[in-house]
Structure 1
Amino acid sequence: MTGATIQDPRQRRAILLGVCIALMAVIASVSGLNVAQPQLSLEFGASQSTVLWIINIYTISLAALLLPLGALGDRWGRKPMLLAGLVVFGVASAAAGLAPSIEVMVVARFLSGVGAAMIMPVTLAVITSTFPAEERSKAIGVWTGVAGGGGLLGMYLSAVLVDFASWRWLFVLPVALVVVAMGVALRSIPNSIEERRFDGVGALLSVIAVVGLIFVLHEGPSAGWTAGVTLTSLVVGVVAAIAFVTWELRQAAPLLDLRLFRERGPASGSVSLLTVFGVQAGIFVVLFPYFQAVLGWSGLRATLGMMPMAVVMMLASGLAPRAAARIGARSTMASGILLAGAGLVLMATFVSVDGGYLSVLPGMLAMGLGMGLTMTPATEAITSALPPARQGVASALNDVTREFGTALGVALLGAILSAGYRAAIESRLDGIPPATAGTAREGISNALAAADGSQPLIRAAQESFVAGWQQAMWAGVAITALLFVYVLLRGPARKASSTAPQQEISVPN
C-alpha cells in the first residue's frame, strides 16, 4: 500500500497535537536545567564543569543519534519508534528527578537524550507522511513554532518550578507531557514502515562525527580551543565526517543521500536553519546576562522577558505557509532573514545600560518575526526533498542542523561577547586594585561579585558588557546578511517540488 495520508481532519488534528506535545517534552528538556545550575551544584556537591556535563550530555546524545534513529524509525515503524522513545524518555526523566547521586543523574540525562533522539525525528516524519500536500505546510508551521519557541516556554516553566518548589520538579513536566503524548499516539497516530537496508557503517560514522564536532563546540569555550581534548575531538570529528561523506557517496542505499545537497531546496533549507538557530542561540547567550547582570532581574523575570520574542516566533511560524503560498518559499525566507537582521541592528544600535528593557524589545520582536518566517519554509524545503518513505531521515537531518546551529551560535557569539567585554573593561579599570581587576576581567558576573558595592566597578562592568553585546550583534548582522544574499541566489523554488513517493507499507493502528 503506497502512502499513509490521513483524510479525516479530526484524526490529523489529533496527530498534530500528539507529536507537538511529544516535541515540547524534548525541546523543554534541552534548556530547562540551565535555570537550576546553582541548585544542582549544591545538591550533589558538584563543580560547575560537572553540572554543565549534566546539561550537555543530553544535547550531545540527542544530536549524535538523530540520523541513525530517524532511519531506524523508517525501517522498524514510526509509531513503535515514537512509543519506545516516549517510554525511554519518560522513565529516564523520572529517574533524573529522583536521582540520589551525580552518577545516576548523568546516566539518566544520557538516556533522556537517547529517548529524545527516538522521538524528535519521528514527530516531523509523522506529519510529512500523513498530512496531504495542501495541509502539510500548515502542520509544519505549527511544528516549527513549537520547535522554535518551545525551549523558551520550557525554560520559563522551569524557572517557575525552581523558584517556587525544587529543581526535582523540573522533570514532572516532561513526564506529564510524555503520558499525554502516549495516550494520543496509541489512539490516533498510524504506523508506517519502509523495507530498506539499514546503513550501519554510515550510522556509526555519523555518530562519531557528530559527537566529535558537537563536543568541540561545547567544550572549546571553557576548556580552551587549543586544549588537547578540544583538538583531539576536532580531529576525530573531522576525520569521521570525511569518512562518512566518502562512504555515503559510494552506497546504493545510503543513510543520507548527500547528492541531495546539489539541489537548492535541501541545501538552502539546511544552511538557513543552521544560521537562524545559531543566531537565535547566540542571542539568548547575550540577552540573559543583560537582563540579570545589567538590569538586575531575577532568572524568572529574565525568562519572562524573552517570552514576547517566543510568542511572535511561534505565530510567525504558523503564518509562514500562507506567505510562502503567495510570494514563494524563497521570498518568504529572504523576508524573514531580512527582518531578523533588522532586529539585530536595532538591538546593536539602541541597547544601553540605562535604556532598560524597552531598548531591546523592538529588536527582539523583529527577530522573532523574522525567524518564524524563515524556519517553516526552510524545514519544508528539507523534508520535501526526500520521499515519504525516507521522512525519518529527512526529519533527522532537519534536527541535526538545528542542533549544530545552536552549538555553533553559542560558541561563536559567546566568544565574541567575551572578547568584546575583556577589551572594553581594560580601559575602565584604572584605580581598581589588581586582584579585583583580575577577577573583573573574567566576566560581568565575576566583576559584580568582586565589586562589593563599588558603583564605579559595577558601572564599568555593565558598560563593558554592552560593548561586547554590540560586537556580538554586529557579527550576527554580518552572518544574516550573507545568508540573505545566499537565499536570494540559491533559495528554494516558489513551491517546493513534491518528490514522487516510494513504496511504503502502512500498518493499521
Structure 2
Amino acid sequence: MDIRLASATGRWVVLTTVLGSGMALLDSTVVNVALPRIGEDLGADMADLQWTVNAYMLTLAGLILLGGALGDRFGRRRVFVVGVVWFAVASLLCGLAPNTLVLIIARALQGVGGALLTPGSLALIQASFHPDDRARAVGLWSGFGGVGAAVGPFVGGWLVDGPGWRWVFLINVPLAALCVPVALRHVPESRDERAHGRFDVLGAVLGALALALVTYGLIDENWWTGAAGVVVGAVFVGVERRRSEPMLPPSIFASRLFTAVNLVTLCVYAAFGGFFFLATLHLQVVSGYSALGAGTALLPTTVLMLLLSARSGEWGQRLGPRVPLTVGPLLCAAGMLLMLRVGTDASYVRDVLPALVVLGLGMVVLVAPLTATVLASVETGRAGLASGINNAAARAAGLLAVAALPLLAGMGPEAYRSAQEFEATFRRAMPMCAGVLVLGSLIAWWTIRAPRAAGRCHPECRVNCGITSPPLEPDTALEPEGTAPDRQGPRPDPRAGT
C-alpha cells in the first residue's frame, strides 16, 4: 500500500490503530487502580485480585505471537477487527460481572482479544503507508499511545471514584463501536502473500498452559500444580525444538546478545509488574489515597517516559546498550527502595514523588535502548519475531511476579483490608523487586557486549511508556524458519520520530 499520512485515509488509519491499541493499553494500566474497590464490591480476597490482573496477562502473553501470524495469513484488518470486537464483548462481560469468577474468566477473554488486536495495530501501519511516511506514522502511533499510558491511571481513578469501577471496562465498548466501522470503511486489507505452513497451535497452547499452571501454583500455594507447570514448560521446549515451523524458534537464541537482553527484560519487567501491582494498593490501603489520587500519584513515571524517551534512545545510540541497561535498572531499584518511606502519614512531595521520579528516570534510561538492542541483536528478517518474543517475555515476567511476590512477602488472603498488615508485607516486597533489578543490571554488565550501532533508536521506541512491556516492532509476523518478511520498502529512518 502507498497511503500518504497527510491524506484523509492516512489519518483514519492512524485513528483506528490508536483506538484499537489504546483499549488494550488502558486495560493494562488502569485496572490496578480499581483493585481495592473491586475487592470490596465483590468480596474478593488477595488471590482473586491477583487473578484479575493475571488472567488478562496470561492469555495475552501466551497468544500474542500467534495473533500476529493470524493477521499475516488471514488479513491484518480482519484479525484486528475481530480482536477489537472480541475485546469489547469481553470488556462488557467484565463490567457486568456479578462475581469474581465471571470477572476472571472475562479478563482471560480480554487477553485473547488483546493478542489479536495488539500486533495488528502496528502491522496495519507498516502495511498501509508509503515507505516515506511509515516512520512518522509509527511515531504518531507511539506518541498517542504514550499519552494514553500517561493519562490511563488518572482516567481509571476518575472512573472508579465517579461512575464506578465497572466503567474501567465498560468504556471500551463505545471506543470499539467507533473503531470497528472506521476500520472497515477506511483501512485497506493486507496480508503476507508468502505466509504459509501450519500454525503452531500446539506450541501456543503448551506455552499458555505452562504459564497458567505455574501462576496457579504460586497464587494458591499449590506446589504440585506449579511443578506440573514446569513439566509442561519442558514439554513446550521439546516440542518447539522438533517442529519445522515453531512459534518460538530455538535457533533465535543462538544470538548471545538476544538471549542476554531477554534475561534483562525478564528481571526488569518482573520488578515493574510486582511494583505497580502493589504500589497502587499501598497508596490506597496504607496511605489513604482515593483511586483518583493513587492514579494521579503514579503519573510522574509515565510522563517522564513520554517526554524523554527520544533523548534516551539517542543517548543509547551514542553509548551502546551496555551502560543504559546497567544504569537504568539500578535507578529503578533505588526508586523502589525509596518507596519504603511511604507510610500512613506520607507526604506526597517529600516521600512519594522523589521515589517515582527516580523510578521514572530509570525507566527512561532503560526502555528505549532495551527495545533497540533486541531489534539489533538479530538479522533484519527476524526483527519482528524477536520483538514479539521480547514483548511476550516481559508480559510473562510481570504475570509471574504478580503471582509470586505476595506469596514471598507473606501476604495473607485479607492483607489488602488491613493497613498495618499490608504495610508490613509491602516493606518486605520492595527489596525483593529491587534485588531482581540489581540482578538484571549485573546480567547486562557481564553479558552485553555490542557495537554502538546496537543502540539504534527505532521510531516505535522513541516515545514509549512501557510499564507492562516493551513496544512491539511494527512487523510482528511469525515467519516460518528460513523466510524473511516482506517489509515493502526500506526500514524506517530512526531519526524521523515525532
Do both share a fold (TM > 0.5)?
yes
- Residue in 2 that maps onto 1:20: 18
Q: Distance in 2 between matches of 1:342 and 1:134?
A: 37
- C-alpha contact 1:67 1:203 (8 A) present in aligned 2: no
Once the 2 structures are TM-superposed, how far is the Cα of residue 26 of structure 1 from its aligned partner? 0.8
CA–CA separation in structure 2 for the residues paired with 1:94 and 1:36: 16
Q: How does 1:497-508 map to 2 (within 5 A)?
A: 502-503=485-486
Distance 1:337 1:227, change over 3 A: same
> Which of 223, 228, 235 is the matching residue for 1:240?
235
- Where does residue 434 of structure 1 map in the other structure? none
**How far does residue 117 in structure 1 lie from its aligned partner after superposition?**
0.9
Residue 493 of structure 2: aligned partner: none
Q: 1:182 aligns with which of 167, 180, 183?
A: 180
Residue 414 of structure 1 and its aligned partner are, at CA, apart by 4.5
Report if aligned partners of 2:270, 2:401 keep a CA contact under 8 Å in 1.
Answer: yes
Q: What is the one-letter code of the residue matched to 1:118? A: L
Map residues 103-502 of structure 1 onto 2, 5 A cutoff. Answer: 105-129=103-127, 153-186=151-184, 188-194=186-192, 195-200=194-199, 202-216=200-214, 218-224=215-221, 227-236=223-232, 238-248=233-243, 251=244, 253-263=245-255, 266-324=258-316, 327=318, 330=321, 334-335=323-324, 337-348=326-337, 351-352=340-341, 353=343, 356-357=347-348, 358-382=350-374, 385=378, 393=385, 396-411=388-403, 413-416=405-408, 418=409, 445=416, 447-448=418-419, 458=420, 464-465=424-425, 467-468=427-428, 471-486=431-446, 488-490=448-450, 493-495=454-456, 502=485
1:463–1:157 distance in 2 versus 1, CA, 3 Å: closer
Q: Deviations over 1:172-202 (max 9, x none)?
A: 32223323433553455443322322433x3
- Judged with a 3 Å threshold, the aligned counterparts in structure 2 of structure 1 residues 17 and 311 are, in CA distance, closer, same or farther, namely farther
TM-score when scaled to structure 1? 0.75
* Distance in 2 separating the partners of 1:208 and 1:47: 29
Distance 2:296 2:435 in 1: 26
**Contact 1:85 1:119 survives alignment (8 Å):** yes
Tell me which structure has the larger Cα radius of gyration: 1
Secondary structure of 2:321's aligned partner = helix
1:56-71 to structure 2, matched below 5 A, reads: 56-71=54-69
Q: Per-residue CA shift, 1:337-392, capped at 9, x if unaligned?
A: 5144224225425842466332342332232233244333433444564767x777
Deviations along 1:209-228, one digit per CA (max 9) or x if unpaired, are: 23312441x3344311x532
Say if 1:34 and 1:13 are closer, same or farther in 2 by CA, change over 3 A: same
TM-score of the aligned structures, taking structure 2 as reference length: 0.76
RMSD of the TM alignment (CA)?
4.0
- Partner deviation per Cα, 1:202-251 (whole Å, 9 max, x = no partner): 331232123312441x3344311x53222222322x23322233124xx2
User: Which residue identity is paired with 1:232?
Assistant: A
The answer on whether the counterparts of 2:30 and 2:156 sit within 8 Å (CA) in structure 1 is yes
3-state SS of paired residue (2:171):
helix
Paired amino acid for 1:493: A
Q: CA deviation at 1:60?
A: 1.8
Asked if the contact 2:156/2:295 (under 8 Å) is kept, the reply is: no
Please state how far the C-alpha of 1:503 moved relative to its aligned partner: 4.6
* Structure 1: distance between partners of 2:134 and 2:319: 15
Native 8 Å contact 2:260 2:444 kept in 1: no
Structure 2: distance between partners of 1:107 and 1:308: 33
The CA distance in 2 between the partners of 1:477 and 1:51, in whole Å, is 24
Name structure 2 gaps, 5 residues minimum.
459-472, 476-482, 490-498
Give the distance between the partners of 1:376 and 1:137, measured in 2 at CA: 16
What is the SS of the residue equivalent to 1:193?
A: coil
Quick check: 2:32–2:276 contact (8 Å CA) kept in 1?
A: no
Letter of the 2:56 partner, please give it.
Answer: Y
Q: Say whether the 8 Å CA contact 2:35–2:281 is kept in structure 1.
A: no
SS of equivalent to 2:288: coil
C-alpha distance in 1, partners of 2:153/2:438?
29
**What SS does the corresponding residue of 1:493 show, helix, strand or coil?**
helix
1:134, distance to aligned residue in structure 2 (A)? 7.8
Q: CA shift at 1:139, angstroms?
A: 5.8
395-404 vs 486-495, which moves further? 486-495
Offset from partner CA, 1:16-47 (integer Å, 9 cap, x none): 44323222201222354444446556666666
| Mapped contact 1:276–1:371 kept (Cα < 8 A) | no
Shift of 1:135: 6.8
Task: Give the SS at the match of 2:396.
Answer: helix
Which amino acid in structure 2 is aligned with residue 299 of structure 1? A
**What SS does structure 2 have at the residue aligned with 1:166?**
coil
- Identity rate, percent: 26
